[in-house]
Amino acid sequence: MSVLDDIVAGVREDLAARKARTSVVDLRAMIADTDAARDPMPAFRAPGLSVISEVKRRSPSKGDLADIPDPAALATAYAAGGADAISVLTEERRFNGSLADLYAVRAAVATPILRKDFIVSEYQLLEARAGGADLALLIVAALDDATLADLYTTAIGLGLTVLVEVHDEDEVERALAIGTDLLGVNARNLKTLEVDPDAFGRLVTLVPDDVVKVAESGIGGVADAERYAALGADVVLVGEALVKDGDPTAAVAALRAVGREDS
């Protein structure tokens, strides 16, 4: 069993427990009382490098990263730095996240929010929208073609913007086949946890110009952001470097300055 398979198995167990507590009817009622989803795409398509700043306590590859007792305060710092979106990890077992983090961040900022999790069910998309998320992550490696297409269509129908994540050439082809306009290349292969620093540069050449390209993993600071921007990234998604930084507001602002120095 790969690392990804093990993570998804745990996600399905936790999902079953949540389904037993909260019905689909209840989630849809919550959605009806939730503000319309915010659209991050105009910012992502604007000149310069956009930044998705992540609320991330731990990871399977690195272990504990940061103690984040107040995710809302961290999100507020990200927003003050100009973050174009804020990613909130909600997976419990490997990342120590929760839906409570999503609710806390939504209550604190007006910035578009990404629910980052291993989404395998329509129920999780309903949870995302009920919690005020504006974007949802779909990981191609975790889904078969039919499920990927169904979840993508469902997410769009809920008003969510979908970040479709890929790791290799085959997954790029599968992502483009469903019509995604926001594609993330994760340098870390979630099946093995190995990092391929050349993945973005190799895969970005397969992606049409009109698709917004997001570089994920391995972004330690401005130098890495500049490298990805030079390769064609429109957006960087940064977690570890920001949660470890003593001044996340300044760190986000420095990343966003890439490509904007002369504008």
Helix (DSSP H) and strand (DSSP E) numbers for the chain? 12, 10
State the catalytic residue, choosing from 91, 127, 171, 216: 216
What 8-state DSSP symbol labels residue 179?
T
CA distance 54 to 34: 22
State the catalytic residue, choosing from 53, 54, 59, 213: 54
> Catalytic site residue 165?
yes
Higher pLDDT pick, 143 / 195: 143
What 8-state DSSP symbol labels residue 90?
-
Q: What is the pTM of this model?
A: 0.96
State the catalytic residue, choosing from 50, 53, 91, 116: 116
> Catalytic site residue 244?
no
State the catalytic residue, choosing from 50, 53, 59, 186: 186
Q: How confident is the model at residue 35 (pLDDT cuts 50, 70, 90)?
A: very high
> Catalytic site residue 240?
no
CA distance 246 to 238: 15
> Catalytic site residue 116?
yes
Beta strands at 50-55 and 113-116: parallel, antiparallel or unpaired: unpaired
User: How far lies 260's CA from each of 30, 34, 172, 222, 226, in Å?
Assistant: 39, 34, 29, 13, 11
Q: What is the pLDDT of residue 261?
A: 62
> 98-132, pLDDT tens digit by residue?
999 999 999 999 999 999 999 999 999 999 999 99
> 39-89, pLDDT tens digit by residue?
999 999 999 999 999 998 887 777 778 888 999 999 999 999 999 999 999
State the catalytic residue, choosing from 165, 171, 189, 213: 165
Q: What is the pLDDT of residue 143?
A: 98
State the catalytic residue, choosing from 50, 53, 56, 189: 56
> Catalytic site residue 127?
no
